[in-house]
Amino acid sequence: MGKKSTKKQIIQIGIIVLLVCVGLSGCNQQSKPLNTEEAKFVGTWVTDDDNALLDLGKNVVFFSDRTMTSQLGFTGTYEVDPGNYLIVNITRDGTKTQHLFDYGFSQKTARMYSYTKQ
Protein backbone atom coordinates (compact mmCIF):
# COMPACT_ATOMS: atom_id res chain seq x y z
CA MET A 1 0.00 0.00 0.00
CA GLY A 2 2.95 2.32 0.53
CA LYS A 3 3.90 2.25 -3.19
CA LYS A 4 0.35 3.15 -4.29
CA SER A 5 0.23 6.00 -1.80
CA THR A 6 3.59 7.35 -3.03
CA LYS A 7 2.51 7.13 -6.69
CA LYS A 8 -0.72 8.89 -5.85
CA GLN A 9 1.19 11.70 -4.10
CA ILE A 10 3.57 12.06 -7.05
CA ILE A 11 0.63 12.28 -9.46
CA GLN A 12 -1.09 14.88 -7.26
CA ILE A 13 2.10 16.95 -7.01
CA GLY A 14 2.56 16.68 -10.79
CA ILE A 15 -0.97 17.91 -11.41
CA ILE A 16 -0.49 20.83 -9.02
CA VAL A 17 2.82 21.79 -10.67
CA LEU A 18 1.19 21.59 -14.10
CA LEU A 19 -1.72 23.82 -13.01
CA VAL A 20 0.64 26.37 -11.47
CA CYS A 21 2.76 26.44 -14.64
CA VAL A 22 -0.29 26.92 -16.86
CA GLY A 23 -1.61 29.64 -14.56
CA LEU A 24 1.68 31.52 -14.50
CA SER A 25 2.27 31.25 -18.24
CA GLY A 26 -0.21 34.06 -18.83
CA CYS A 27 1.56 36.42 -16.41
CA ASN A 28 4.18 37.47 -18.93
CA GLN A 29 1.70 38.60 -21.55
CA GLN A 30 1.39 42.25 -22.48
CA SER A 31 -1.58 43.70 -20.65
CA LYS A 32 -2.57 46.23 -23.31
CA PRO A 33 -1.94 45.81 -27.05
CA LEU A 34 -0.06 48.50 -28.94
CA ASN A 35 -2.22 51.13 -30.56
CA THR A 36 -1.64 52.16 -34.18
CA GLU A 37 0.63 55.06 -33.25
CA GLU A 38 2.78 52.96 -30.89
CA ALA A 39 3.12 50.20 -33.49
CA LYS A 40 4.79 52.69 -35.87
CA PHE A 41 7.81 52.81 -33.55
CA VAL A 42 8.41 49.05 -33.28
CA GLY A 43 11.62 48.10 -35.06
CA THR A 44 15.20 49.24 -35.51
CA TRP A 45 15.91 52.89 -36.22
CA VAL A 46 19.25 54.06 -37.64
CA THR A 47 20.87 57.49 -38.03
CA ASP A 48 23.98 59.21 -39.36
CA ASP A 49 23.05 62.49 -37.63
CA ASP A 50 26.08 63.61 -35.56
CA ASN A 51 23.96 64.99 -32.69
CA ALA A 52 21.89 61.82 -32.48
CA LEU A 53 25.02 59.65 -32.61
CA LEU A 54 26.36 61.38 -29.50
CA ASP A 55 23.09 61.39 -27.52
CA LEU A 56 21.23 58.23 -28.53
CA GLY A 57 23.63 56.25 -30.72
CA LYS A 58 23.49 54.96 -34.26
CA ASN A 59 20.79 52.36 -33.54
CA VAL A 60 17.72 52.54 -31.35
CA VAL A 61 15.40 49.53 -31.16
CA PHE A 62 11.78 49.69 -29.99
CA PHE A 63 10.09 46.40 -29.10
CA SER A 64 6.38 45.50 -29.06
CA ASP A 65 6.46 45.01 -25.27
CA ARG A 66 7.13 48.76 -24.93
CA THR A 67 10.81 48.33 -24.09
CA MET A 68 13.73 49.81 -25.99
CA THR A 69 17.51 49.62 -26.26
CA SER A 70 20.24 51.74 -27.76
CA GLN A 71 23.65 51.05 -29.23
CA LEU A 72 25.07 53.29 -26.47
CA GLY A 73 24.02 50.75 -23.86
CA PHE A 74 20.94 52.22 -22.30
CA THR A 75 17.68 50.35 -21.94
CA GLY A 76 14.24 51.49 -20.98
CA THR A 77 10.55 51.72 -21.73
CA TYR A 78 8.56 53.97 -23.99
CA GLU A 79 5.05 55.23 -24.47
CA VAL A 80 3.46 57.42 -27.09
CA ASP A 81 1.22 60.42 -26.60
CA PRO A 82 -0.35 60.25 -30.11
CA GLY A 83 0.62 63.17 -32.30
CA ASN A 84 2.55 64.86 -29.52
CA TYR A 85 5.40 63.12 -27.74
CA LEU A 86 7.40 59.94 -27.56
CA ILE A 87 8.08 59.47 -23.85
CA VAL A 88 11.19 57.40 -23.13
CA ASN A 89 12.20 56.27 -19.66
CA ILE A 90 15.78 55.01 -19.70
CA THR A 91 18.34 53.68 -17.29
CA ARG A 92 21.95 54.37 -18.13
CA ASP A 93 24.81 53.76 -15.74
CA GLY A 94 22.25 53.18 -12.98
CA THR A 95 20.60 56.58 -13.49
CA LYS A 96 16.92 56.69 -14.46
CA THR A 97 15.74 59.59 -16.60
CA GLN A 98 12.70 60.51 -18.67
CA HIS A 99 12.95 62.14 -22.09
CA LEU A 100 10.20 63.71 -24.18
CA PHE A 101 10.65 63.75 -27.95
CA ASP A 102 8.41 65.65 -30.31
CA TYR A 103 8.09 63.28 -33.26
CA GLY A 104 6.93 63.19 -36.84
CA PHE A 105 7.01 60.56 -39.57
CA SER A 106 7.28 62.94 -42.50
CA GLN A 107 10.46 63.61 -44.47
CA LYS A 108 9.40 67.27 -44.58
CA THR A 109 9.37 67.68 -40.81
CA ALA A 110 12.48 69.17 -39.20
CA ARG A 111 13.37 67.40 -35.98
CA MET A 112 16.26 67.53 -33.53
CA TYR A 113 17.26 63.99 -34.49
CA SER A 114 16.58 62.20 -37.72
CA TYR A 115 16.26 58.40 -37.63
CA THR A 116 15.18 56.07 -40.41
CA LYS A 117 13.34 52.82 -39.73
CA GLN A 118 15.06 49.79 -41.19
pLDDT means per 10 residues in the chain (118 residues)? Answer: 68 66 55 83 87 80 91 86 81 80 67 75
Q: How much is the pLDDT for 29?
A: 52
Q: How far apart are CA 77 and CA 15, in angstroms?
A: 37
How far CA 10 is from CA of 16, 25, 52, 86, in Å, comes to 10, 22, 59, 52
pLDDT of residue 62: 92
Going from the C-alpha of 40 to that of each of 35, 37, 86, the distances in angstroms are 9, 5, 11
Whole-prediction pTM value? 0.65
DSSP strands (E only) in the chain: 43-46, 59-62, 67-70, 75-81, 85-92, 95-102, 116-117
pLDDT of residue 63: 93
* pLDDT reported for residue 24: 58
